[in-house]
Structure 1
């Protein structure tokens, strides 16, 4: 252990339940957010930098976190997006030759408060039973009443628009300008590996802010459109929903992932709802109803689309379902070149189970006459 004496810390849930731990570093700290858990045994650096996790206190269910260090190339955005980290055993040293820093150094650089020595099995079990809720982690263990008062002021994730917090403020380009295909991407929390997957299929991407209009995106004359993943409740994203409606009306190919999937559903009149505790991990089983094949997928979402409304919508077809709870994991429009999934094919947990979705997108682009 690096620090012989570490400050006591606590996790205070919105319902008043308290779990105890210790600060990872020898300094005081406090962080607020919605507490959620991820079951992945690896990929913690990608989790911490995924914009979809913005404002959340992350509980890692794997017993050891930090044991393979960090690598500056293994990030999904330019900064840490989670609000705080909760783990069982924190590794101050690492053994991976390819790492360029310890996780402690990474947290220091990004000013992220973390606590360890927590009974994460008990905490995750509690969240599973009682649902995701707001919480605070803090070394201010003697000020529970004050922390409760501050926690009560933190807004619920339901109804919370967060895309504006993580989206680019100005359009930017990704890839080679002379690539075969031009794709306009709406950034409502886009991951770098999505851009890499589009680029390696010979695409040049222009990434637009979360509130970009269809006119702005169409002005670049792209071959197709993409709507990204992201954090928060999809229903307040009025600009993105309107843009999606107009993209659909344009008859050009459109692909959406996670929050983008929900936006496409909303653009078709299908509502969304906040899940009990969401899907977060790299081992979620999906059934592709079109092929009859199963997929092991990476997932990170706390909202889902209404299955009954999707089934009765004359324009939509359910293409994928989550095998654990039968939630909708993929849709396509019957008379348009539009499809979306509620998981992350770019995260490669299978590792290649869902790669075909990017290939399917480009086959769709090739099949549509370009104007």
Structure 2
């Protein structure tokens, strides 16, 4: 509904209620004898005049941008404005009922009555102004809140883009180091690694603009990554997947599992002379998806397990899911470290 339409509906309805209330008060205190054609005409004239003068007051308010003023500046202006409008409105009403459209059976003009009527109209106009400015203050605060939310969203999106853009160079740096170590010792494996890394980079570029990907898409790229790493580690790295089929379409942040697996290899398998095993598991639990990446080894108390990748993943989880998502890396047994990622389902 247009603002102008809503305004006129409120104007007509509000002043009509006021006129009916005035007629009702006349009936209560004067009985049926007080309800005459002239008194009804009087109430009609008063109602039309108050609608007209309140509208003129609104026009003046809008022209001078009073709705944008702070309360400290607005209140003195509003008090003076209400007094002036009430005086002018009542003067015009008296001009109509005593000279231009004279009515019978009404009290003779007196200054005492005139001042009393001005006071009554002042109260009514003050009530009208209070409602009018209350509506605009609510609307202004609502717009301000919306603008704040839009700004917060824009900042979060910008921050998320920065975090995602940091992931690609970080991963590429590690992968290129692996390839460099094999170029001279095993060129065939190096070429195979280049093939796998091209698939990983294609995935990273393809989904860089996406906030989320399906678990199935992420698992597929993690398999490529593990094949890439298994070439370097030979028989020292083994891995397995226990993925709940019903969880494959659930959306998660891109490169999330890959980062957990990379972290497990860097801080677990690579530190063990005999190598190790990595297990990737997904489990649906009530209102969330739990993803676990388990590897052989133990976290040391002073170990700094969170590198650039994991720190970025934690920040992305906060932006996308707030406090409903969590990431924990802990010793789950005497010889196992588990990175557990909790993703809300809605």
Q: TM over 0.5: same fold?
A: no
TM-score range for the pair, normalised by the shorter chain length: under 0.3
More strand by share: 1
User: TM-score, normalised to structure 2's length?
Assistant: 0.22
User: TM-score, normalised to structure 1's length?
Assistant: 0.21
More helix by share: 2
Higher relative contact order (CA 8 A, sep 6+): 1
